[in-house]
Amino acid sequence: MSDTEYHRTLGIGKAAFDSLTEHMEDRSYDGLEYRHVPDYRRGVERGTALIAGEVVRGFPKIPRTLVLETGIPNWFDDVVVVEEKLNGYNVRFARIDGDVLAFSRSGMVCPFTTRFIDRLVDLDPLFDAHPEAMVCGEMIGPENPYTAHDYPDVDSLAFRAFDWRDRQSGDPLPVDERRARYDRFDIPQTQYFGSYDVDDAAGEVDRIVRDLEAEDREGVVMKSPDGTELLKYTTSAANQGDLAYAFSLPFDYGQAFMFRRLIREAFQTIERGESDERASERAHELGEAILLSMRDSIQTVEEGGSVGERHTVRASTETIDVLFDHLRGQGLQIEVEDDRREDGDRVVTFCKRTQATNDKIENYLEGHIVKE
Amino acid sequence: MSDTEYHRTLGIGKAAFDSLTEHMEDRSYDGLEYRHVPDYRRGVERGTALIAGEVVRGFPKIPRTLVLETGIPNWFDDVVVVEEKLNGYNVRFARIDGDVLAFSRSGMVCPFTTRFIDRLVDLDPLFDAHPEAMVCGEMIGPENPYTAHDYPDVDSLAFRAFDWRDRQSGDPLPVDERRARYDRFDIPQTQYFGSYDVDDAAGEVDRIVRDLEAEDREGVVMKSPDGTELLKYTTSAANQGDLAYAFSLPFDYGQAFMFRRLIREAFQTIERGESDERASERAHELGEAILLSMRDSIQTVEEGGSVGERHTVRASTETIDVLFDHLRGQGLQIEVEDDRREDGDRVVTFCKRTQATNDKIENYLEGHIVKE
């Protein structure tokens, strides 16, 4: 497809497309050259990929409210559908030139997920019936190369669909239709909590979020029934879990990332009308997430170890090889810490070394002087 | 003085001076035009002022160590002099055209401090004997228009000298000579703890800092005996106090400001080898400083109030008038909350409204959607 046709398909002008192409990354997957939009840009979703003459739309950024009671009626008209937001990594599947490919949030083809999905679900009947579909969902579970989180019913890695969009336009199916279709094709989906009148939704969502919190789950995505309007809200467990993780690698995570999660906690304690006692408890948990995580990492470095993002994956030898090639191809420093065979699979524990945190902690311990 | 002469006096080339002038601010004080360097720039200290043909050097930024045991021997050769770092605002006094003027950290003439200092100390004998002196110190105490902090021996506002430099070159006096001179002129000084061999200094400073911490004081400045090398270290009380203050105005304080103080706490708990129990206690205090401060501010806004930096000052009517003119001249929004007379003085409580925090808290409470 020529650039002219791409800009028409994306629904943006030629000038806008030309300026967009300057920010696109060129990559190749299995001999196929493609381009993608790795960052947020005006006019087109982050993660949009142009590949083999096809457009694969990025998944839209989901806006967030800090206060349910006021945010929900601001955002929705009549009815709010509530589903679970899962803590894993976002993936979109599309069939390109006969092959089902997995696209990451930023629009890269993920060779690991592309291969691994076959174990979990058979997407062929779906794409035979709907070749223009984009299957959107989350890869969750502990044996996860990007974002590991435990779910009681997931031993290794699982897929949960949460959206179905047109690959080219990005338009979603209405929630009911989407859920019925995934059921028909036997694709597991994210948990559905219910559909509520906008005036009752804040109370219902609060109840759901508290239940999720008790199970250390992430939160909810609220949707208009037609699937076009999305709004998210997360549990305190997710906020604090993110903070603990970020502060274990304090010089590699953005300060804005940390700050936003602190702010969410403050508005949540206010909206819930927590007593001084309960607010202090929350403050203590928050303080532990921050300080004790940093303390652990500094101790690790002090004792000669190194810190980083540690993951375990279980897959075929070939899938694991392409995963490591893929990660190293992005400039990540991968240290394999354990590599064993189990029931015909390779089970590998590896660490993505986070340079800044290791270096800065070491420097400060050695008495590096700060001229801040 | 022409610009040519200024660049010679500053000891920088003409090109460097020309590029510096682009970043200088033009101001006037009492009909006297002057320029100053408001930000950190290469080649000359922030706060340097060019006034009436004279150069008034900015006070140098004091570097910091996060770890005493390694940082002190990295920075100093043989002997380390330890003095108290006070929590107030930094001021430099110089005599220009016969008048003693007070310069703020950023190089502005502060009309409040210029007038107020006469109540506290008589600088004239000092400047008669040493017209080129720059008297550097901290204005401390609760009735403070910039940085209020309680000190047991200060009811309103007091001055403590901590350095004596040449106004033009910025060169300091050796510590002993400086202390002797200030004594001679009856100028109160910052607390002197002692002079230690570099190998013993970390232990001594740790002991001093723990004592200061117990009294909710800020920390220490370590110096080489000749006064040229400086290094600072702060108490946990200061870190946490700063955090509580910053998080009470979360959208007006820089995230880097907050982050740095969290990092300091982490290295302090490590250097002190704190037990899990003690580290958890520190984490809880830290969490309270963060969350409960935000909670208070959100509650205040929720109840229709507004948050900001609240200060009380006690001075003559004229001094208070020039203070408010000065603050408003910098674009600050000042709300007078209380204005009364006491023993011939005006005692005014005012609030510097911090727009971002008030606006953002209000927006989020109203259900403003975040597209982060």
Tell me whether the CATH fold assigned to B3-56 matches the one assigned to B236-302: no
* Residue of chain B whose Cα is closest to the Cα of A277: B292
Q: Which among A68, A247, A251, A262 is the top mutation candidate for probing chain B, defined by the most B β-carbons within 10 Å of its own β-carbon? A: A262
Nearest alpha-carbon partner for A309 in A139, A148, A87: A148
Query: Average pLDDT for residues B177-199, to the nearest whole number?
Result: 98
Place of tokens 């897929």: A159
Tell me the DSSP string of A263-277: HHHHHHHHHTT--HH
A20, pLDDT greater than 60: yes
Note whether A232 contacts B: Cβ–Cβ < 8 A.
no
- ipTM surpasses cut 0.90: yes
**The CA-based dihedral angle spanning residues B26, B28, B33, B34, taken in that order and rounded to the nearest 10 degrees:** -50
At residue A138, the 3 state secondary structure works out as strand
Q: What is the pLDDT of residues B7-40, one digit of tens each?
A: 888 888 888 888 888 889 999 999 999 999 999 8
Per CB-CB distance under 8 Å, the chain B contacts of A288 are 280, 283-284, 287
Per CB-CB distance under 8 Å, the chain A contacts of B273 are none
pLDDT of residue B4: 62
* Distance between CA atoms of residues A90 and B338, nearest Å: 55
SS3 content of chain B, % helix, strand, coil (to 5): 40, 30, 30
Share of chain A above pLDDT 70, in %: 99
CATH code that applies to domain B236-302: 1.20.58.2250
pLDDT of residue A19: 85
A1, pLDDT greater than 60: no
A92, pLDDT greater than 80: yes
Per CB-CB distance under 8 Å, the chain A contacts of B75 are 367, 369
Q: What are phi and psi of B134, to 5 degrees?
A: -125, 115
Say if CB B18 and CB B25 are below 8 A apart: no
pLDDT of residue B22: 87
pLDDT of residue B307: 95
Q: What are phi and psi of B151, to 5 degrees?
A: -125, 135
The conformation of residue A151, written as its DSSP 8-state character, comes to: B
Pairing of strands A192-197, A79-85: antiparallel
* Residue of chain A whose Cα is closest to the Cα of B299: A270
Per-residue confidence band for B6, with pLDDT thresholds at 50, 70 and 90: confident
* Distance between CA atoms of residues B238 and B244, nearest Å: 10
At residue A48, the 3 state secondary structure works out as coil
Q: What is the pLDDT of residues A24-79, one digit of tens each?
A: 999 999 999 999 999 987 778 999 999 999 999 999 999 999 999 999 999 999 99
Q: What is each CA distance from B159 to A48, B132, B147, B215, in whole angstroms?
A: 61, 20, 13, 19
Q: Do B64 and A290 touch (CB under 8 A)?
A: no
Say if CB A367 and CB A260 are below 8 A apart: no
* Distance between CA atoms of residues B166 and B168, nearest Å: 6
Nearest alpha-carbon partner for A192 in A230, A221, A233, A172: A221
pLDDT of residue B144: 95
Q: What is the pLDDT of residues A214-237, one digit of tens each?
A: 999 999 999 999 999 999 999 999
Q: What is the pLDDT of residues A333-353, one digit of tens each?
A: 999 999 999 999 999 999 998
Nearest alpha-carbon partner for B236 in B281, B192, B191: B281
pLDDT, averaged across chain A? 95
Per CB-CB distance under 8 Å, the chain B contacts of A291 are 262, 265-266, 269, 279, 282-283, 286
pLDDT of residue B43: 78
Nearest alpha-carbon partner for A162 in A204, A129, A190, A194: A190
Q: Do B65 and A262 touch (CB under 8 A)?
A: no
Please, what's the largest Cα pairwise distance for chain A? 64
At residue B61, the 3 state secondary structure works out as coil
pLDDT of residue A2: 65
Residues 266-295 of A with CB under 8 A from B: 266-267, 269-270, 279-280, 282-288, 290-292, 294-295
Place of tokens 């005996």: B225
Q: Which two tokens stand for residue A215?
A: 């199970």
Angle of CA points B36, B40, B41, to nearest 5°: 85
Q: Which helix (H) or strand (E) holds B193?
A: strand B192-197
pLDDT, averaged across chain B? 95
A4, pLDDT greater than 70: no
The answer for B11, left when phi > 0, alpha when psi is -120 to 50, beta otherwise, is left
Q: Which two tokens stand for residue B310?
A: 């609240």
Share of chain B above pLDDT 90, in %: 90
Residue type, A158: A
Domain covering B3-56 assigned CATH 3.10.450.740 in the classification: yes
CB contact set of B51 (below 8 Å; sequence gap of 6+):
B32, B34, B35, B96, B101, B109
Cβ burial of A180 (10 Å; 0-12, 13-18, 19+) is exposed
pLDDT of residue A55: 95
Q: Which helix (H) or strand (E) holds A222?
A: strand A219-223
pLDDT of residue A56: 97
Of residues A308 and B1, more confidence is placed in A308
A174, pLDDT greater than 60: yes
Say if CB B234 and CB B96 are below 8 A apart: no
CB contact set of A345 (below 8 Å; sequence gap of 6+):
A314, A315, A316
Domain ranges of chain B: 3-56, 68-234, 236-302, 308-353
Q: Do B266 and A231 touch (CB under 8 A)?
A: no
Q: What is the pLDDT of residues A233-289, one digit of tens each?
A: 999 999 999 999 999 999 999 999 999 999 999 999 999 999 999 999 999 999 999
Per-residue confidence band for B336, with pLDDT thresholds at 50, 70 and 90: very high
Tell me the DSSP string of B101-134: EEEETTS-B-HHHHHHHHHH---HHHHHH-TTEE
The CB density around residue A331, as the number of other CB atoms within 10 Å, is 6
Residue type, B197: D
* Residue of chain B whose Cα is closest to the Cα of A60: B371
Q: What is the pLDDT of residues A119-130, one digit of tens each?
A: 999 999 999 999
Q: What is the pLDDT of residues A312-340, one digit of tens each?
A: 999 999 999 999 999 999 899 999 999 99
Q: Which among B272, B307, B364, B368 is the top mutation candidate for probing chain A, defined by the most A β-carbons within 10 Å of its own β-carbon? A: B364
Per CB-CB distance under 8 Å, the chain A contacts of B287 are 282-288, 290
Strand order in the sheet with A133-140: A99-104, A89-96, A133-140, A158-166
pLDDT of residue B5: 79
pLDDT of residue A42: 74
Q: Do B280 and A269 touch (CB under 8 A)?
A: no
Check the CA dihedral A106-A107-A109-A115 and report its sign.
positive
Q: What are phi and psi of B97, to 5 degrees?
A: 55, 35
Q: What is the pLDDT of residues B153-172, one digit of tens each?
A: 999 999 999 999 999 999 99
Q: Do B290 and A286 touch (CB under 8 A)?
A: yes
Strand order in the sheet with B64-65: A369-370, B64-65, B230-234, B219-223, B79-85, B192-197
Per CB-CB distance under 8 Å, the chain B contacts of A260 are 370, 372
Considering only CB atoms, A370 lies closest to which of B64, B269, B369, namely: B64
CA distance B196 to chain A (A): 18
* Residue of chain A whose Cα is closest to the Cα of B370: A64
CB contact set of B257 (below 8 Å; sequence gap of 6+):
B242, B246
Domain covering B68-234 assigned CATH 3.30.470.30 in the classification: yes
Assessment of whether the complete model's pTM goes beyond 0.90? yes
**Burial code of B92-129, b = ≥16 C-beta within 10 A, e = fewer?**
bbbbbeeebbbbbbbbbbbbbbbbbbebbbebeebbee
Q: What is the pLDDT of residues B133-151, one digit of tens each?
A: 999 999 999 999 999 999 9
A21, pLDDT greater than 90: no
pLDDT of residue B216: 97
Q: Do B71 and A247 touch (CB under 8 A)?
A: no
CA distance B148 to chain A (A): 23
